[in-house]
Amino acid sequence: MKRKMLGVMALVSVALMSASGLLLAQADAPKYQEGVHFEAIEGAPVRTDDGVEVVEAFSYMCTHCATFEPYITSWKQRKPEAVTFKRIPVVFGRSSWELYARAYVTAEMMGIADKAHGELMDKIWKEREIMRDMDELAAFYAGFGVDADTFLATSKSFAVDAKMRKDQRSLQTAGVRGTPSLVVEGKYLVAGNEAVANYDVMLDVVDFLANRELAAKASRSAAQAPAEGGDAED
């Protein structure tokens, strides 16, 4: 009888230890995990500045991007100052997407992309007004202080062509397959899936990754700084 009780007690002890170990492992696990909530980008370029860059891959032709716009606008107002934000318009081989991507890049080069962005998204998805050629888009952007003819000429320029090629290559490198998607520091791709079920979660994953990158950069900077009271190398 005693042996039986000792055996039961031993099994209970093992079970408790296993449960305790599992709880500790869960406590140590990061809030979001690679391969579940985000993907690491192979061959990502190394950024050497102290800040962290977040890129939204979007299209004016994407209804989900229109839905996402209030979320990203709110996030931009609360993001850390060291986190910078930019947009890259996706083409995906679609002529209508390419038209709006070219218009966005043109507006970006002329310094009015951010100012016009929300209004263009609203015009398409709230007012249901689609602009079907660059002439109509040039007329729209003329409302933001640029000359329509200059906008048209710029849209056909080598500089816009080169930037569009560069932007699309960067999206391909990041593995962007849908919109909206977010790229953090060129290293991580965050997109909707079963584990990232809504835009609040998507942006929380972005915050998690951005804060982790900022902490890592601060740690490296501290390690590279001269010891207090010492002299820097010549």
Instruction: Indicate the domain borders of the chain.
Output: 39-222
User: Rounded CA gap, 108 and 106, in Å?
Assistant: 5
Task: Please tell me whether residue 89 adopts helix, strand or coil conformation.
Answer: strand
The pLDDT value recorded for residue 15 is: 44
12: number of Cβ within 10 Å? 10
Strands (DSSP E) contained in the chain are 39-40, 52-58, 83-89, 181-184, 188-190
Q: What is the pLDDT of residues 158-205, one digit of tens each?
A: 999 999 999 999 999 999 999 999 999 999 999 999 999 999 999 999
Least Cα distance to 97 among 70, 124, 126, 69 occurs for 124
Which residues are bridge partners to 188 per DSSP? Answer: 40, 184
Which phi and psi angles does 54 have, rounded to 5°?
-115, 130
The per-residue pLDDT for 1 is 52
Residue reference for tokens 């740690």: 219
pTM score > 0.75 for this model? yes
> Which CATH architecture group holds 39-222?
3-Layer(aba) Sandwich (3.40)
Position 3 scores a pLDDT of: 55
Predicted pLDDT of residue 28: 62
38-94 pLDDT tens trace? 999 998 777 778 899 999 999 999 999 999 999 999 999 999 999 999 999 999 999
Task: Tell me how crowded residue 90 is: count the other CB atoms within 10 A of its CB.
Answer: 27
DSSP element (H, E) containing 33: none
Would the pLDDT of 216 be above 80? yes
